[in-house]
Amino acid sequence: MIIKFRGINESSVSTITPATEADLNSLIRLWTDISHREFAAYIGQANIDFFINSGELAAETAQLLQNTFICKRENRLAGFVVRIDDLIELLIVSPTFQNKRVGKQLYNFAIHKIRQNHLHVKVECFAKNIRVLPTLQHLGFQETGRYFDDTGFETVQFIRH
Q: Can you name the residues that pair with 145 across neighbouring β-strands?
A: 157
The model's pLDDT over 98-148, given as tens digits with 9 standing for 90+, comes to: 999 999 999 999 999 999 999 999 999 999 998 899 999 999 999 999 999
pTM value is 0.89
Cβ–Cβ under 8 Å, residues 82 and 68:
yes
Edge to edge, the sheet with strand 13-18 lists 3-6, 13-18, 68-73, 76-84, 87-93, 121-126, 154-160, 142-148
**Cα distance between residue 146 and residue 124, in whole Å:** 9
> How many domains does the chain contain in total?
1
Range of the domain at 144: 3-160
Tell me the CATH number at 153: 3.40.630.30
